[in-house]
Amino acid sequence: MSHEASAPTLRKDALGVLSIVLLVIATNGPLTVIIGAVPTAIAFGNGLGLPSVFLLIGLAYLIFSIGFAAMSHHIKNAGAFYAYVSNGLGHPAGVGAAFLAVVAYASLNLALYGMFGLFGSMLFTRVTGLELPWWIICAAFVAIVHVFASRNIQFNGRVLGLLMLAEVGIALVFNVGVLFQGPGPDGWVMESFQPSVVFTPGFGSAVVFVIAAFMGFETAAIYSEEARNSKRNIPLALFFAVAVITLLDGSATWFMISAYGTELALAQAASNPGMIWFDIATKVLGGWAATAMELLMITSLFAAILSFQNTLSRYFFSLGREGVIWTGFAKLHPTQQSPYVASAFQSGLMLVGVLVAGLLGVDPITQLMPVAAAPASIAIVAVQVLTAIAVIGFFRSNPRDTNLWQRLIAPAISIAVLGWILWMMVTNVAWLTGGQTPVLDIFIPVFVAVIGVGGVVYAMWLRQARPESYAKLARLLEEV
């Protein structure tokens, strides 16, 4: 039997467009972004101009998705970025991109565990009256996430779908409440869309914060093997997910600014970022809304963590299936048809991460979260730049069913925009870490570069040591 014929495959025709969109949005955690990142982005970014940054970054990712979606018509692989870059730029670059993506998603998941540790321990104390360290709460939570992630993707899709509908719902209810009650003392703050307010010296910093709101939208392609009519549904899910994230986060931010008024919104973001949303939700909708937001913040983190667990386990599965890493990761559960070995490994990584951080006395919010999220942000934008270049490389010799806009112009725009964002991140790491220590500003970009180069070197070794396996990389389920 050939390698291709015997290769394990994930559950077929398990996900429709809506399920994929909800899985993707779950990785972004709308409430996590709105409550956790928006106040900081207002205070340290471009202030009142932040809603426009969401629109601009959303537009940039819609343009990126044009080439990405065109390539998805021809490649069907749970490795996503790995398969795309490998087919467009060669296997060494593809393996380098895979290593970067894995590190990015794992680091971001650890950062989300840090945030969950704070909110989860606060909720646990409120409900039980007992006080436990944040990392004990996280360790127990790792086990819960593992149980969910080991189930089939349809079950996970339903769970995440319900959580996302509730999360999106409370944001929309807030917007509607402001709409009916009317804005604050300054009316609708149209300054948020004026170039002189948007493009201030803090614009670059705001872009870096907003980029985090979109991290994970590209995971739609990871579910291509499990999607119904993937050639149609994956591109639709990509575009729809980016549009929802852009409009939901951007509109909620603008409605919040308008509800407070310009001066009070800026003052609250600077002096009381942790309560800015809860206070305005109470004023607009009543105390129940603040309570709902607090509970949904917990479920938002759960959804994001579970979604990234699914994403990472599929990366490990894809790389294991093709012999890039341990082939045991390619094992599927006999009934759930989920990559349970890869998922267990991911759970083990997170358990070790939170236990080590806890035992070392690392603060989950001021230390673990920013330090873990920084390499994730840099690595994933670097992979996105590589993917945009790969689109051009993939269609260069054979345009297939694409037009010039899809195969060249849109990817070229993406390379320029995302390349500029990557440069800002690398040269301003303190924006990502909160200025923890100067050493980190140098170490984190170097660490990311070493991971990427390490993947390239490993692939080149694989080409010499195991040429047959190397030749089959990223091609097991390719539909070119």
Beta-carbon-side half-sphere exposure of residue 218 (alpha carbons within 13 Å): 30
- Residue 420: count of CB within 10 angstroms of its CB: 14
The model's confidence at residue 227, banded by pLDDT at 50, 70 and 90, is confident
Q: What's the domain range around 254?
A: 17-479
173 assigned to some structural domain: yes
Nearest to 235 by CA among 380, 402, 71, 390: 71
What is the rounded distance in angstroms from the CA atom of residue 55 to the CA atom of residue 45?
15
Q: How far is CA 382 from the centre of its chain?
A: 14
Beta bridge partners of 478: 75
Task: Say yes or no to pLDDT of 480 above 70.
Answer: no
- Calculate the alpha carbon distances from 131 to 115, 134, 135, 338, 350 in Å: 17, 9, 12, 36, 22
375 assigned to some structural domain: yes
Task: Say yes or no to pLDDT of 161 above 90.
Answer: no
Give the model's pLDDT for residue 1: 38
pTM, two decimals, is 0.90
Mean pLDDT, residues 299-303 taken together = 88
Task: Say yes or no to pLDDT of 12 above 80.
Answer: no
Give the model's pLDDT for residue 150: 83
- Residue 430: count of CB within 10 angstroms of its CB: 16
The model's confidence at residue 14, banded by pLDDT at 50, 70 and 90, is low
Nearest to 477 by CA among 81, 94, 77, 7: 77
Higher-scoring residue by pLDDT: 50, 318? 50
Query: Which phi and psi (to 5°) does residue 200 adopt?
Result: -100, 175
4 assigned to some structural domain: no
Give the model's pLDDT for residue 5: 45
Give the model's pLDDT for residue 25: 84
What type of residue is 245? I
Nearest to 98 by CA among 469, 456, 462: 456
Enter the tokens of residue 275.
């309560």
Question: Cβ contacts of residue 457 below 8 Å, gap of 6+?
Answer: none
What is the rounded distance in angstroms from the CA atom of residue 275 to the CA atom of residue 272?
6
9 assigned to some structural domain: no
What is the rounded distance in angstroms from the CA atom of residue 111 to the CA atom of residue 404?
40
Mean pLDDT, residues 231-252 taken together = 90
Give the model's pLDDT for residue 223: 75
Q: Give pLDDT tens digits for 351-389.
A: 999 999 999 999 998 889 989 999 999 999 999 999 999
11 assigned to some structural domain: no
Task: Say yes or no to pLDDT of 432 above 90.
Answer: no
447-460 in b/e burial notation, b at 16+ Cβ within 10 A? bbeebbeebbebbe
Enter the tokens of residue 168.
């999106």
- CATH number of the CATH domain containing 471: 1.20.1740.10
Task: Say yes or no to pLDDT of 2 above 80.
Answer: no
Mean pLDDT, residues 69-85 taken together = 79
What is the rounded distance in angstroms from the CA atom of residue 438 to the CA atom of residue 444?
11
Determine the 3-state secondary structure of 227 from DSSP: strand
Give the model's pLDDT for residue 111: 93
Burial class of residue 331 (count of CB atoms within 10 Å of its CB; 0-12, 13-18, 19+)? middle
188 assigned to some structural domain: yes
8 A C-beta contact, residue 373 and residue 208: no
What is the rounded distance in angstroms from the CA atom of residue 360 to the CA atom of residue 96?
31
Task: Say yes or no to pLDDT of 160 above 90.
Answer: no
| Least trusted range by pLDDT, from 93-102, 217-226, 239-248, 469-478 | 469-478
Give the model's pLDDT for residue 282: 95
- Calculate the alpha carbon distances from 236 to 50, 65, 68, 251, 381 in Å: 27, 10, 12, 22, 22
Higher-scoring residue by pLDDT: 116, 216? 116
8 A C-beta contact, residue 154 and residue 141: no
Mean pLDDT highest for which of 56-70, 108-122, 224-238? 56-70
Q: Give pLDDT tens digits for 307-360.
A: 888 888 888 887 888 788 888 998 888 887 788 999 999 999 999 999 999 999
Q: What is the mean pLDDT of the chain?
A: 88
| Least trusted range by pLDDT, from 181-195, 312-326, 401-415, 462-476 | 462-476
Mean pLDDT highest for which of 24-33, 178-187, 214-223, 317-326? 178-187
12 assigned to some structural domain: no
106 assigned to some structural domain: yes
Enter the tokens of residue 5.
């014929």
- Calculate the alpha carbon distances from 244 to 25, 153, 169, 183, 195 in Å: 8, 22, 12, 23, 24
pLDDT cut 70: percent of the chain above it: 95
Give the model's pLDDT for residue 261: 96
Q: Give pLDDT tens digits for 436-470.
A: 788 888 999 999 999 999 999 999 999 999 888 78
Give the model's pLDDT for residue 438: 84
Task: Say yes or no to pLDDT of 434 above 80.
Answer: no
Task: Say yes or no to pLDDT of 62 above 70.
Answer: yes
- Residue 287: count of CB within 10 angstroms of its CB: 10
Our count of domains for the chain comes to 1
Mean pLDDT, residues 182-202 taken together = 95
Q: Give pLDDT tens digits for 125-154.
A: 988 999 999 999 999 999 999 988 888 777
Enter the tokens of residue 454.
């390490």
8 A C-beta contact, residue 408 and residue 105: no
